[in-house]
Chains A and B, each alone.
Chain A
């Protein structure tokens, strides 16, 4: 019994410590994000990896989701004779919720896991120590380009996702069910507001920060993991943790932002 309680205590202390280290990591990275000089080359390289290379996956996913939304909502709206609201409902769902969340989850799976594994391997391989010993700040050299690239990529990816999703809804509604195309777009234009787009943007920025923070942070702090850290096993474990933690954080943040901004 006492053993159990002390294990619980140990676990609480450990998790608090980890949260503290992660916060410290975030603050240091954020601090260096704005310190001159910012090198463009590495940021572009990361933009290519995080943003450009994710576009295809996100377009595919958003198109599918738009199609499904179109199909499902058509049947429901048809019951009320309100099919001319289809455009509005699809657009609002995409812009407010589906676009940001789907994009974030896809980016976590594609780029977040890769970033975590990359930084984790650099930790076990002593590459981070090597940077330190070359008097090169690992935060500035490694984290700043990743932070900038993710925070720039996410809103752009979310915008692409929104538009493609709306197009998917259009395909389902107008091509398959003969909803008048004017009604689809007109309803959308008149009832989607700047407020909705703004919410999507805020979400995408916050999600971007969460993704890059947790994935790089988890990898960076690999040596502090309690289950022993070195080797391939440590990297794989930490990557799984980062993906799960980032996904859950994104969903929780999604709820909180929705709750505060409506």
Chain B
């Protein structure tokens, strides 16, 4: 009886611990065990993606639908190459625009996709024709300040 109680509590403890771990891994670690193949990847080339990180969200009309899976630097064309993962259910027309935006002043960077009007849709591996790079607020402010003030 006593032994049974001990085993019961240990079992409960292990289940609780693993549940907590699984919750964190799936919800925050973006561990996708179940939805492997129902998404496709598209690529965007930006002159600057300052502040954008792996795993940042890809939003359409303000709704998070996909995420950034990799950010690399193309040394030849001197651009940042961002790969995004979008679910199959989301169709992006070939003339959609991808732009790097910020949520709030100190918020995370994310990619905003503005749909276009073409009939054709982007396929796996396609590139966005048009992109807008990150707005660097500091740069903007300094430009503004120094262009209106004395020449430096």
Contact count A vs B, C-beta below 8 Å? 90
Contact partners of A45 in chain B: CB under 8 A: 6
Instruction: Write the nearest CB–CB distance from A77 to chain B, whole angstroms.
Output: 10
Interface size class of B (residues with CB under 8 A): 20 to 34
In the bound complex, do residue B13 and residue A159 qualify as a contact, i.e. CB atoms below 8 Å apart? no
For B57, what are the chain A residues with a Cβ–Cβ distance below 8 Å?
A: 190
With A190-B55, A197-B29 already in contact, the answer to whether A163 and B13 are too (CB < 8 A) is no
The residue on A at minimum CB distance from B22 is: A159
Which A residues touch B28, using CB under 8 A? Answer: 91, 95, 188-189, 192-194, 196-197
A39 adjacent to chain B (CB < 8 Å) = no
Q: Which residue of A lies closest to B16 (CB)?
A: A160
Interface of A is mostly: helix
B17-A160 in contact (CB<8A)? yes
Size of the chain A interface, CB-CB below 8 angstroms: 34
Of B6, B30, B54, B108, which one neighbours A48 at CB under 8 angstroms?
B6
Having A155-B17, A159-B17, one finds 14 other A-B pairs with CB under 8 Å, namely A51-B10, A52-B13, A55-B13, A80-B106, A81-B105, A85-B106, A163-B23, A190-B55, A190-B56, A190-B108, A192-B28, A193-B55, A194-B30, A197-B24
Lowest 9 A-B CB distances belong to which pairs? A156-B17, A159-B20, A194-B29, A52-B13, A192-B28, A159-B21, A52-B9, A163-B20, A48-B6
